[in-house]
């Protein structure tokens, strides 16, 4: 019952000077809202990244020439199509995709520009799904038939075909005419993890791009990069080790290092998750400094309240109130202000997080511990910064207090 009476008295006391109470609350509201919204924003960003990573990157292995080895001649060793066939046979449950990229001049009517052309295997679309505004992706039949077809991004389609008639039209890329079979729709928001292609990339069958290169230096076509999707996340380490073992066996090593980089992205993803958590924590800590500042303001308000209510304290002590009762009452008032501001700040922080979600197109995520942390910190601020004023009030001599005007 005493607790309920204390809360009632605290609410009554802080309501006497509404303006001062509101100004005290503002700091706590802003500080709490900052902490909640920052923690939510960090969680949403992390959730968005991890969602994309788990669907693509957690099983992704990238293989390319190892430019870190010291032997300059060794760095010019590249894989061949024979190696790709062998790896596909060896890693039956994995998806192995070749990748090559170059710049070519593209012409359509009076429009001429240098564009990025990416040669891909048909399995590329399974690894990196895209939405098409029109047409279709490159298929195995296109690759087998050496069909001179291309898929354009929405930006390129608009640049070369401003009238919107890209699908089925011809576009000269380099020395050959390609038929546009698909247009990739523009993404509403840029993915945090992607395949490295930009909004200005034209896709063609790998075999077709391969035949436009001058391979006289190597005698036969070479493979610059492989993207491999392991059968499962659990199988990533063994698949990567198996690929590296094959390449080391076929091409040897330099100073104990494989001539090719075999990178499992899962390791990088773990590091990124750790970084996300650390950065979110640091930003939340910085936002929490405003709570500390608001606590100083509340302590100042409570000290003024003690000074204003000195006579009241004297009367209460004269009629039998103990020092602990006085101290509890002022602590209760400080706690009431901080918790009221904290609850209002949590509601505001959730609203800000909703706005961030809507603007960024990220899924709304509110960590279950964010409101709890904000509430606990608010209570701790109230108790900590209310302690000095409460002790001052409790220490007042009743005779001295009663004589104060």
**Tens of pLDDT along 64-115?**
888 777 666 555 788 999 999 999 999 988 999 999 989 999 999 899 999 9
Q: Are residues 151 and 208 in the same domain?
A: yes
Would residue 291 count as lying in a domain? yes
CA gap 338, 299 in Å, rounded:
11
Q: Is the dihedral of CA 168, 170, 171, 177 positive or negative?
A: positive
CA gap 324, 4 in Å, rounded:
17
Phi and psi angles of residue 149, each rounded to the nearest 5 degrees, phi first: -125, 160
pLDDT of 299 reads: 77
Q: Are residues 372 and 288 in the same domain?
A: yes
Picking from 172, 197, 229, the residue at the C-terminal end of a domain is: 229
Q: Are residues 111 and 46 in the same domain?
A: no
Q: Are residues 104 and 219 in the same domain?
A: yes
pLDDT of 195 reads: 66
Q: Are residues 333 and 390 in the same domain?
A: yes
Contact call for residues 376 and 310 (beta carbons, < 8 A)? no
Q: Are residues 300 and 393 in the same domain?
A: yes
**Structure-model confidence comparison of residues 264 and 71, the more confident one:** 264
Would residue 254 count as lying in a domain? no
Q: Are residues 27 and 125 in the same domain?
A: no
Picking from 229, 250, 265, the residue at the C-terminal end of a domain is: 229
Q: Does the pLDDT value for residue 3 go beyond 60?
A: no
pLDDT of 400 reads: 59
pLDDT of 137 reads: 94
Q: Are residues 108 and 223 in the same domain?
A: yes
Q: Does the pLDDT value for residue 58 go beyond 80?
A: no
Would residue 88 count as lying in a domain? no
Contact call for residues 50 and 309 (beta carbons, < 8 A)? no
Cα–chain-centroid distance for residue 259?
Answer: 33
Would residue 241 count as lying in a domain? no
Would residue 36 count as lying in a domain? yes
Domain that holds residue 204: 97-229
CA distances to 36, 80, 82, 85 from 89, rounded to whole Å, are: 51, 15, 11, 6
Q: Does the pLDDT value for residue 1 go beyond 50?
A: no
User: Average per-residue pLDDT in the chain?
Assistant: 80
Q: Are residues 101 and 218 in the same domain?
A: yes
Query: What DSSP character marks residue 76?
Result: G
Could you tell me the two tokens for 67? 């430019």
CA gap 160, 155 in Å, rounded:
9
For the segment 293-317, the average pLDDT, to the nearest whole number, is 70
Q: Are residues 25 and 128 in the same domain?
A: no
Nearest to 68 by CA among 206, 241, 291, 254: 254
CA distances to 209, 232, 345 from 340, rounded to whole Å, are: 66, 49, 9
Q: Are residues 132 and 200 in the same domain?
A: yes
CA distances to 9, 385, 390 from 15, rounded to whole Å, are: 10, 19, 18
Would residue 121 count as lying in a domain? yes
Nearest to 239 by CA among 247, 249, 250, 228: 228
Picking from 206, 229, 252, the residue at the C-terminal end of a domain is: 229
pLDDT of 152 reads: 94
Domain total of the chain: 2
Would residue 145 count as lying in a domain? yes
Nearest to 62 by CA among 225, 257, 230: 225
Would residue 92 count as lying in a domain? no
């Amino acid at each position: 019952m005493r607790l309920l009476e204390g809360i009632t008295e605290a609410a009554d006391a802080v309501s006497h000077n509404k303006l001062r109470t509101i100004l005290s609350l503002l700091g706590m509201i802003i500080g709490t809202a900052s902490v909640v919204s920052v923690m939510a924003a960090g969680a949403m960003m992390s959730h968005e990244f991890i969602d994309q990573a788990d669907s693509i990157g957690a099983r992704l292995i990238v293989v390319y020439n190892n430019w870190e080895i010291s032997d300059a001649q060794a760095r010019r060793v590249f894989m061949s199509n024979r190696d790709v066939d062998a790896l596909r046979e060896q890693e039956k449950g994995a998806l192995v995709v070749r990748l090559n990229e170059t710049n070519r001049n593209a012409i359509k009517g009076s429009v001429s520009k240098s564009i990025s052309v990416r040669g891909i295997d048909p399995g590329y679309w399974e690894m990196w799904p895209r939405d098409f505004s029109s047409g279709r992706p490159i298929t195995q039949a296109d690759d087998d038939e050496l069909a001179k077809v291309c898929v354009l991004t929405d930006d390129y389609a608009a640049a070369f075909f401003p009238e919107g008639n890209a699908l089925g039209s011809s576009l000269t890329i380099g020395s050959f005419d390609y038929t546009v079979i698909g247009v990739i729709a523009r993404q509403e928001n840029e993915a945090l993890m992607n395949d490295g292609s930009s909004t200005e990339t034209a896709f063609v069958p790998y075999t077709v791009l391969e035949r436009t290169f001058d391979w006289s230096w190597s005698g036969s076509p070479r493979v610059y990069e492989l993207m491999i999707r392991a059968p499962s996340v659990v199988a990533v380490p063994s698949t990567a080790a198996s690929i590296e073992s094959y390449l080391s066996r076929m091409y040897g090593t330099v100073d104990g290092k494989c001539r090719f980089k075999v990178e499992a992205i899962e390791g990088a993803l773990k590091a990124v998750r750790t970084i996300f958590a650390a950065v979110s924590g640091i930003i939340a800590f910085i936002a929490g400094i405003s709570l500390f500042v608001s606590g100083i303001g509340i302590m100042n308000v409570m000290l003024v309240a003690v000074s204003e209510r000195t006579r009241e304290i004297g009367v209460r002590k004269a009629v039998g109130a103990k020092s602990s009762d006085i101290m509890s009452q002022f602590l209760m008032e400080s706690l009431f202000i901080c918790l009221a501001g904290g609850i209002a700040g949590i509601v505001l922080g959730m609203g800000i997080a909703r706005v961030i979600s809507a603007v960024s197109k990220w899924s709304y995520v509110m960590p279950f511990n964010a409101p709890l942390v904000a509430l606990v910190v608010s209570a701790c601020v109230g108790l900590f910064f209310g302690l000095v004023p409460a002790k001052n009030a409790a220490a007042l001599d009743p005779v001295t207090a009663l004589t104060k005007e």
